[in-house]
Amino acid sequence: MFDRYLNTYVDKRMKYIIEEWQLAKRNEIADFQRRLISLSNEVTRLAGVEKAAETKLTSLEERARKLEAKKK
């Protein structure tokens, strides 16, 4: 009898229990590996962008130094 009451209680309040305890839902977990791979690829791509920006910035700084030296 108590088990049935408890099951009914939990069934009716499952949405609130999931939110309160910050539990993951089955569909969120199933999607996790795909999202992780996507994020990993994005990090790799951004590392390349950062390296290219760093190279361009170094080149611009060198040109600025040369122009500054000519100005003197």
Q: Could you tell me the residue ranges of all domains in the chain?
A: 2-71
Name the more confident of 72 and 15. 15
The predicted-structure confidence for 15-56, as pLDDT tens digits, reads as follows 888 888 888 888 788 888 888 999 999 999 999 999 999 999
pLDDT value, residue 34: 87
Mind spelling out the 3-state secondary structure of 21-71? HCCCCHHHHHCHHHHHHHHHHHHHHHHHHHHHHHHHHHHHHHHHHHHHHHH
Mean pLDDT, range 55-65, rounded to an integer: 95
pLDDT of residue 6: 87
Give the model's pLDDT for residue 28. Answer: 80
